[in-house]
């Protein structure tokens, strides 16, 4: 196995060839904020939270999709990156209708956690208050577009792990929405196997278990990780 | 030593933040030694006074009265704190924004859902008119400190106010201090 | 088909040419001004005058002076008539025959034409784009023959490198390098793509080439295919260009029929086919990675580069993507030599550039000028200056990704580097003249609205950032804004620029940054006159937290 030596925030880190900066940092105990990344499925570099500075590159690069290179020098916490990350989170809060106080995942939400992580105490951007819908047609699950941040984790998890491809993205720009089937009510989509992986993967309360009350819903975040490890490494016990 | 002039204001919110403030229990006695509460929904003062040092503003800006009042508060206050999620994010009161402008909201609430005598409330000078869009406080006037939470837990309120009494700005970081909801 | 046959077609075409040719533009611009009717009437008038033996009425592509269409040119007299009405057809035929005409003549010595240097547009307005013979008659497909029989792939790529040709889609990446990279990639399957998803508001260079000289593009793509070892090309053209699509389809059919596309071209062992893919109206599909996704039948969303398409493109295969204008230069470079091309223009920006000159300018249309010409020469002399009653305030290049050049900097030469220094870009060639009547905040707002609507929605800074920037610009334009809003705008713009995933988001703030740089006072005036002169409390301090 080829090994690459890289430097992250001044620390020497050894990484496997082909590994992403994000993985290498994670193994070394260096945390890089991320939102659209979910272990076990392909990356899309859409949330821009994991952008890092690589010496010699005049643009920030997404840590999740940038493979390590020998003698790469990476900075993950420059003041500018910290400021930009906070702005991204503010943009997300202003873009949707994220009312933590009445959300099923209040206290168990990765967007909420990220807001704390980047130090967001308010949004400098005006709230958009978009008109978005809720789909409660499924027997077990619900979807609230107001809380959707379009990370497309559900899309990828359903496609790549479950193989059902129930979810996709429709529309463009600020009108983009996650849709089930051919933009049908979720409950009417035959392809859905009711496995619930999308709900487990959702960072916010956009996909939820029906019957959850405010702040009550908790996810089994390790379930997806377990499934991936099971498949890849044939480790079938948790 | 002159006491710090403290005010608390209740705009479009449920008063939960004020309840949480009262949850500070015996610490309120300590606080009372250092501050004069010059204006508050729990004090019988009619006019917001001049020269307020610190003001905790609970609630979003939802009607004409809130809008007029917050400007007055800002003018007469040195240090203004957005107190709780309604003030910081407009929170639950702003969920009516998704219904459209004020007349849509009133129609929904008083005509479509009015079961007995559906009619618009209209009492000029008594019932303040709704503004079209509920906003957080800082979209209307500048804010000096943001104290999120629905409500902010009593300990968080204390951790934010205590340094101010010593003339220091509190550090608003971490789950204990800035978690929404 | 072999070279002899090709030359025979050319000779026959020459032989059959009539003494006089009336060229009537039927490209989109003139079509919109009723050129089809005019062409019919010209045909009738020639017949009625009994001059069929002497005069040919030819339907041709763009002549450039689109703002004054329909255009009719008399060859070989080199007389151009502008704004010709269908009922003036007979009088034009009269004039050709020595009589008088009521049609307005445009002076061909005018700088609009005199300053031009046609390479890309050398055949535009001169040949019939719907007849392959017309292209062959002017030497068409001879360069394809030449590379197949006289040049190795690397000699060919070297010739392009020597020419200094840079991508005309906007970024200006050296074409020779791009081809060289793909050529060296391993693998049996490679692709060649022509990006004809021209989407900048006010730009129509590529459309003009497609409508006026489609065979040139096909020949160039086949040459590129030979260079990199690809046997399959795609032309990704937007559905909004129906005439271009029609002419491309026709051209492909004709080329296939003559054996200039397909298997064993010119009896060599080189195979090449071209397919058309029609874009469904998303601006972002002009971004190369989104374009590839769209060709593959996926949602047109970009993905991060590297890897670049030259290495990993369509279905994971090495793919060369060039813009229409870039391809259109190739046959001429091979005909005249890379050195010849490198001597045109400036040292770092060689050759010519086609611009779509529009906006508040007297002569609007399409021009091709050597790189390094000043913007003043283009807009004031060629374009004739601002429309009557106003003055030029700025010139915008690069469409929604570009920026404004203020009137004080009109002596800037057009080349990649000089424009970049001014905070704008060459872009694909849109050049919009802004006059004193236009407010620059409104102008920036227009482009921001465009970017907001065209953002694909994949990455957050572009999707949500353009919305916020647009709203702030709207607030400023409506005199509702404060200094704090301006501060937020100036904080957000660089962030969107530096963190967005693809070129669309990375360049979306440019119109704002550029107008703020040169026309800041217009922003400030609107902010100061906000709220009917009464400064709201929130304007007194900037929220710094």
Residue pLDDT, tens place only, A70-112: 999 999 999 999 999 999 999 999 999 999 999 999 999 999 9
In a domain, A151, yes or no: yes
Claim to verify: residue C457 and residue C429 sit in the same structural domain: no
Give the nearest partner residue to C543 out of B71, B74, B138, using CB atoms.
B138
Claim to verify: residue C48 and residue C168 sit in the same structural domain: no
Structure confidence at residue C536 (pLDDT): 46
ipTM over 0.90: yes
**Which pair of structure tokens corresponds to residue A104?**
């099923």
Helix residue ranges per DSSP H, C440-482: 440-454, 460-477
* CB < 8 Å to C461, chain A: 48, 88, 91
User: Which CATH number covers residue C493?
Assistant: 1.20.1440.230
Structure confidence at residue C535 (pLDDT): 45
* CB < 8 Å to C543, chain A: 124
- Find the closest chain C residue to B137 by CA distance: C538
Q: Which H or E element spans position C153?
A: helix C153-163
Cβ–Cβ gap C537/B143 under 8 Å: no
Buried b or exposed e, range B156-180, using 16+ CB within 10 angstroms: bbbbbbeebbeeeebebeeeebbbb
In a domain, C431, yes or no: yes
* Number of folded domains that form chain C: 4
Cβ–Cβ gap A47/C459 under 8 Å: yes
Q: Which H or E element spans position B177?
A: helix B175-178
Cβ–Cβ gap A116/B150 under 8 Å: no
User: Which CATH number covers residue C40?
Assistant: 3.40.30.10
Average pLDDT, integer, range A192-196: 96
Structure confidence at residue B114 (pLDDT): 85
Pick the CATH number of B4-93+131-178 from 3.40.50.700, 3.40.50.300, 3.30.360.10, 3.20.20.450: 3.40.50.700
Q: Is beta strand A73-75 parallel, antiparallel or unpaired with respect to A51-54?
A: antiparallel
Structure confidence at residue B36 (pLDDT): 96
* Number of folded domains that form chain A: 1
- Rounded to the nearest integer, the mean pLDDT of chain B is 95
Claim to verify: residue C428 and residue C446 sit in the same structural domain: no
A106 min Cα distance to partner chain B (Å): 6
CB C434 within 8 A of CB C393: yes
Which of C416, C438, C460 is the last residue before a domain boundary? C438
Domain that includes residue C383, residue range: 352-438
Long-range contacts of A136-139 (CB under 8 A, 24+ apart): A136/A210, A137/A185, A137/A186, A137/A187, A137/A188, A138/A185, A138/A186, A138/A187, A138/A192, A138/A194, A138/A210, A139/A187, A139/A194, A139/A210
**Cβ neighbours for C373, distance < 8 A, ≥ 6 positions apart:** C115, C413, C414
CA angle A9, A11, A12 (to 5 degrees): 130
Structure confidence at residue A237 (pLDDT): 79
What count of Cα atoms within 13 Å lies in the side-chain half-sphere of residue B94? 29
C480 min Cα distance to partner chain A (Å): 14
Top residue of B133, B146, B181 to mutate, by most chain A CBs within 10 Å, is B181
Structure confidence at residue C542 (pLDDT): 37
Residue C248's Cβ-count burial label (10 Å; 0-12, 13-18, 19+) is: buried
Which of C400, C418, C438 is the last residue before a domain boundary? C438
**Could you give the CA distance from residue C414 to residue C404 in angstroms, rounded to a whole number?**
13
Domain extents in chain B: 4-93+131-178
Does B146 touch chain C if contact means CB atoms closer than 8 Å? yes
Structure confidence at residue A40 (pLDDT): 87
pLDDT (tens digit per residue) in B99-108: 999 999 999 9
**Could you give the CA distance from residue C247 to residue C62 in angstroms, rounded to a whole number?**
13
Domain that includes residue A228, residue range: 104-233
Average pLDDT, integer, range A34-46: 94
In a domain, C25, yes or no: yes
- Find the closest chain A residue to B178 by CA distance: A121
CB C536 within 8 A of CB C482: yes
Confidence class for position B1, pLDDT limits 50, 70, 90: low
Cβ–Cβ gap A119/B88 under 8 Å: no
pLDDT (tens digit per residue) in A156-193: 999 999 999 999 999 999 999 999 999 999 999 999 99
Cβ–Cβ gap A87/C498 under 8 Å: no
* CB < 8 Å to C471, chain A: 126
Cα dihedral sign, A184-A186-A190-A195: positive
* CB < 8 Å to C492, chain A: 87, 125
- Find the closest chain C residue to B139 by CA distance: C538
Average pLDDT, integer, range B154-180: 95
Claim to verify: residue C429 and residue C504 sit in the same structural domain: no
In a domain, C126, yes or no: no
Chains with ≥3 CB–CB distances under 8 Å to A: B, C
Claim to verify: residue C160 and residue C255 sit in the same structural domain: yes
User: Which CATH number covers residue C175?
Assistant: 3.40.50.11540
Does B75 touch chain C if contact means CB atoms closer than 8 Å? yes
Claim to verify: residue C192 and residue C254 sit in the same structural domain: yes
- Please state the three-class secondary structure of A25-58 as a single string: HHHCCCCCCCCCCCCCCCCCCCCCCCEEEECCCC
Top residue of B73, B76, B142, B160 to mutate, by most chain C CBs within 10 Å, is B142
Task: Write out the residues of chain C at the interface with chain B, using a CB-CB cutoff of 8 A.
Answer: 484, 536-538, 540-541, 543, 545
Does B170 touch chain A if contact means CB atoms closer than 8 Å? no
Does B137 touch chain C if contact means CB atoms closer than 8 Å? no
Nearest Cα to Cα of residue B9 among B161, B137, B150: B137
Strands laid side by side in the A141-144 sheet: A134-135, A141-144, A207-209
Q: Is beta strand A207-209 parallel, antiparallel or unpaired with respect to A141-144?
A: antiparallel
User: Which CATH number covers residue A182?
Assistant: 3.30.70.20
Confidence class for position B123, pLDDT limits 50, 70, 90: confident
Top residue of A46, A59, A92, A128 to mutate, by most chain C CBs within 10 Å, is A46
Cβ–Cβ gap B179/A116 under 8 Å: yes
Structure confidence at residue C539 (pLDDT): 36
Could you say which residues of chain C have pLDDT below 70?
532-545
Cβ–Cβ gap B140/C543 under 8 Å: no
**Residue pairs between chains A and B whose CB atoms are closer than 8 Å:** 73
Does B108 touch chain C if contact means CB atoms closer than 8 Å? no
Confidence class for position A222, pLDDT limits 50, 70, 90: confident
Give the nearest partner residue to B75 out of C484, C537, C545, using CB atoms.
C537
- Find the closest chain A residue to B87 by CA distance: A122
Structure confidence at residue C525 (pLDDT): 96
Cβ–Cβ gap A91/C304 under 8 Å: no
**Which pair of structure tokens corresponds to residue C214?**
């489609």
Structure confidence at residue A223 (pLDDT): 83
- Find the closest chain C residue to A64 by CA distance: C304
What count of Cα atoms within 13 Å lies in the side-chain half-sphere of residue C288? 24
């Amino acid at each position: 196995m080829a090994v690459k030596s890289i430097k992250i925030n001044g620390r020497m880190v050894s990484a496997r060839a082909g590994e992403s900066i994000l993985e290498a940092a994670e193994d070394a105990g260096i945390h890089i904020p991320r939102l659209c990344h979910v272990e076990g499925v392909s990356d899309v570099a859409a949330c821009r939270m994991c952008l890092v500075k690589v010496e010699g590159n005049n643009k920030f690069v997404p840590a999740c999709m940038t493979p390590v290179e020998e003698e790469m020098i990476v900075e993950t916490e420059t003041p500018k990156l910290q400021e930009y990350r906070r702005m991204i989170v503010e943009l997300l809060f202003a873009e949707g209708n994220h009312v933590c106080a009445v959300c099923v995942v209040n206290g168990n939400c990765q967007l909420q956690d990220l807001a704390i992580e980047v130090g967001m105490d308010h949004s400098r951007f005006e709230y958009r208050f978009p008109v978005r819908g809720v789909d409660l047609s499924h027997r077990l699950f619900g979807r609230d577009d107001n809380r959707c941040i379009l990370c497309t984790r559900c899309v990828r998890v359903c496609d790549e792990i479950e193989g059902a491809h129930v979810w996709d993205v429709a529309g463009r720009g600020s009108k983009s929405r996650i849709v089930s089937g051919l933009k049908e009510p979720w409950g009417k989509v035959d392809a859905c196997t009711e496995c619930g992986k999308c709900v487990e993967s959702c960072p916010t309360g956009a996909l939820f278990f029906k019957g959850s009350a405010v702040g009550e819903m908790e996810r089994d975040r390790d379930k997806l990780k377990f499934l991936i490890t099971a498949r890849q490494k044939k480790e079938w016990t948790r | 030593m002159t006491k710090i002039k403290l005010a608390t204001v209740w705009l479009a919110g449920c008063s939960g933040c004020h309840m949480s403030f009262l949850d500070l229990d015996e610490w309120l006695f300590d606080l009372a030694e250092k501050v004069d509460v010059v204006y508050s929904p729990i004090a019988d003062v009619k006019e917001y006074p001049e020269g307020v040092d610190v003001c905790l503003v609970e609630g979003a800006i939802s009607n004409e009265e809130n809008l007029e009042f917050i400007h007055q508060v800002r003018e007469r206050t040195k240090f203004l704190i957005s107190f709780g999620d309604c003030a910081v994010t407009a929170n639950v009161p702003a969920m009516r924004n998704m219904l459209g402008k004020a007349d849509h909201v009133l129609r929904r609430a008083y005509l479509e859902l009015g079961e007995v005598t559906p009619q618009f409330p209209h009492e000029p000078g008594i019932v303040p008119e709704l503004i079209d869009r509920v906003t957080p406080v800082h979209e209307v006037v500048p804010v000096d400190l943001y104290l999120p939470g629905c409500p902010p837990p009593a300990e968080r309120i204390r951790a934010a106010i205590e340094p101010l009494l010593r003339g220091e700005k509190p550090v608003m970081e971490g789950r204990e201090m800035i978690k929404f909801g | 088909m072999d070279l002899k046959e090709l030359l025979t077609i050319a000779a026959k075409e020459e032989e059959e040419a009539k003494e006089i040719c009336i060229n009537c533009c039927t490209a989109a611009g003139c079509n919109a001004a009723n050129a089809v009717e005019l062409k019919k009437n010209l045909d009738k008038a020639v017949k009625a005058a009994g001059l069929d033996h002497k005069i040919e009425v030819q339907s041709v592509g763009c002549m450039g002076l689109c703002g004054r269409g329909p255009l009719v040119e008399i060859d070989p007299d080199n007389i151009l008539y502008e704004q010709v009405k269908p009922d003036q057809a007979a009088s034009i035929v009269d004039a050709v025959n020595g009589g008088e005409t009521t049609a307005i003549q445009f002076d061909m010595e005018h700088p609009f034409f005199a300053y031009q240097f046609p390479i890309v547009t050398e055949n535009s307005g001169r040949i019939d784009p719907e007849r392959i013979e017309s292209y062959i008659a002017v030497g068409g497909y001879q360069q394809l023959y030449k590379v197949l029989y006289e040049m190795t792939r690397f000699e060919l790529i070297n010739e392009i490198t020597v020419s200094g040709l840079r991508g005309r889609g906007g970024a200006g990446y050296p074409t020779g390098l791009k081809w060289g990279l793909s050529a060296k990639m391993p693998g049996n399957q490679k692709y060649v793509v022509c990006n004809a998803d021209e989407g900048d508001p006010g730009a129509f260079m590529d459309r003009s080439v497609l409508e006026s000289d489609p065979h040139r593009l096909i020949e160039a793509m086949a040459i590129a295919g030979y260079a990199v070892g690809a046997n399959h090309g795609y032309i990704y053209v937007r559905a909004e260009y129906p005439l271009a699509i029609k002419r491309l389809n026709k051209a492909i059919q004709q080329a296939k029929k003559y054996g200039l596309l397909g298997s064993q071209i010119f009896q060599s062992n080189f195979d090449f086919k071209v397919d058309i893919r029609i874009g469904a109206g998303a601006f972002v599909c002009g971004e190369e990675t989104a374009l590839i996704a769209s060709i593959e039948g996926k949602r047109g969303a970009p993905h991060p580069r590297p890897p670049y398409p030259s290495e990993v493109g369509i279905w994971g295969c090495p793919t060369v993507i060039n813009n229409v204008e870039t391809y259109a230069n190739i046959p001429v470079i091979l005909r005249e030599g890379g050195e010849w091309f490198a001597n045109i223009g400036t040292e770092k920006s060689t050759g010519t550039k086609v611009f779509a000159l529009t906006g508040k300018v007297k002569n609007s249309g399409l021009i091709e000028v050597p790189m390094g010409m000043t913007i003043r020469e283009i807009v004031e002399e060629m374009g004739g200056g601002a429309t009557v009653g106003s003055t030029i305030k700025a010139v915008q290049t690069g469409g929604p990704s570009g920026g404004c050049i203020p009137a004080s900097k009109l002596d800037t030469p057009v080349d990649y580097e000089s424009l970049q220094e001014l905070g704008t870009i060459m872009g694909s060639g849109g050049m919009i003249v802004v006059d004193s009547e236009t407010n620059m905040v409104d102008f920036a707002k227009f482009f921001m609205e465009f970017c907001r609507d065209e953002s694909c929605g994949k990455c957050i800074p572009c999707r949500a950032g353009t919305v916020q920037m647009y709203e702030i610009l709207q607030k400023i334009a409506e005199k509702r804004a404060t200094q704090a809003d301006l501060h937020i705008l100036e904080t957000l713009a660089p962030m969107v620029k530096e963190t967005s995933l693809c070129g669309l988001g990375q360049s979306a703030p440019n119109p704002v940054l550029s107008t703020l740089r040169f026309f800041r006072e217009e922003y400030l005036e609107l902010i100061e006159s906000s709220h009917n002169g009464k400064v709201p409390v929130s304007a007194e301090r900037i929220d710094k937290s």
